[in-house]
């Protein structure tokens, strides 16, 4: 039993959790030890059960998957978070990886890919679903395009919500001057001159997604 990979499933949809448990139960070396219906519960269960892998959805109530991932990563060095989501924008991928997720899969991934990813994650190996890996590589190779940092994406997300520099500073716990500096860097990287253009280009490139 020491070789069994202990997994916690975190997803706010009961049908998804049931389906995942059913698939994982077919594997003799994987055991589902708990289910969480929101991010807050995922953090609590991970702390109590100390699983090898947490399968983490991104959009959940109470605490989103990125915030839950960050908390688990900070508190449990031997528990690895594997994101399993329907979202594949640059913003989602960057935020999840920056928060400490060891891998990123889409929910349409084949069963064998999911099983392989869980086993790899339990060993501390990074894994990306093929479509996400391709997206990341394409962005890295894109000529003349500098990738936004995780913090810059957070700033631009707040801009898209219509927040001023002062509001952004308050939300992200940074100074107003720092928020302005981030915006200058964002404008430069995206090749734009104003906030509206920055949001428009970011949406076109998949850096941000519409809520």
φ, ψ of residue 111 to 5 degrees: the values are: -55, -45
Q: How many CB atoms lie within 10 A of CB 76?
A: 17
Model confidence at 1, pLDDT cuts 50, 70, 90, reads: very low
Q: How many helices and strands (H and E) does the chain possess?
A: 10, 6
Examine the pLDDT at 139 and tell me if it is beyond 70: no
- The mean per-residue pLDDT over the stretch 51-69 comes to 93
If pLDDT is split at 50, 70 and 90, which confidence band does 72 have?
very high
Domain with CATH 1.10.10.10 in the chain: 150-205
Question: Other CB atoms closer than 10 Å to residue 117's CB: what's the count?
Answer: 25
| 138: pLDDT strictly greater than 80 | no
b/e per residue 148-157 (b: at least 16 CB within 10 A) = bebbbbbbbb
**What is residue 55's three-state secondary structure?**
strand
Q: 22-36, 68-82, 143-157, 174-188: which has the minimum mean pLDDT?
A: 143-157
**What are the residues facing 84 on neighbouring strands?**
105
Give 159-190 pLDDT, tens digit per residue. Answer: 999 999 999 999 999 998 899 999 988 888 88
CATH number of 150-205: 1.10.10.10
CATH for 5-139, among 1.10.3470.10, 3.40.50.2300, 3.40.190.10, 3.20.20.70? 3.40.50.2300
> Could you tell me the two tokens for 129?
């679903």
Residue 94: strand, helix, or coil: helix
Could you tell me if 82 and 101 are in contact, meaning their C-beta atoms sit under 8 angstroms apart?
yes
pTM: 0.69
How large a percentage of the chain has pLDDT more than 70? 91
């Amino acid at each position: 039993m020491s070789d069994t990979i202990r997994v916690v499933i975190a997803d706010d949809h009961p049908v998804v959790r049931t389906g995942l448990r059913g698939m994982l139960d077919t594997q003799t070396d994987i055991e589902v030890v708990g289910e969480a219906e929101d991010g807050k519960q995922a953090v609590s269960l991970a702390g109590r059960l100390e699983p090898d892998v947490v399968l983490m959805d991104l959009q959940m109530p109470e605490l989103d998957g990125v915030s839950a991932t960050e908390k688990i990563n900070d508190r449990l060095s031997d528990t690895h978070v594997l994101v399993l989501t329907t979202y594949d924008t640059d913003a989602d991928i960057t935020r999840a990886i920056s928060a400490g997720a060891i891998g990123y899969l889409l929910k349409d991934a084949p069963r064998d890919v999911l099983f392989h990813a869980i086993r790899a994650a339990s060993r501390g190996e990074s894994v990306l679903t093929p479509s996400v890996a391709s997206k990341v590589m394409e962005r890295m190779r894109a000529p003349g395009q500098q990738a936004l940092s995780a913090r810059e994406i957070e700033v631009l997300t707040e801009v898209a919500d219509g927040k001023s520099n002062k509001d952004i500073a308050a939300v992200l716990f940074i100074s107003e001057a720092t928020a302005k500096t981030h915006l200058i860097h964002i404008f430069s990287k995206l090749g734009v001159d104003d906030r509206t253009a920055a949001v428009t280009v970011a949406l076109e490139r998949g850096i941000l997604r519409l809520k």
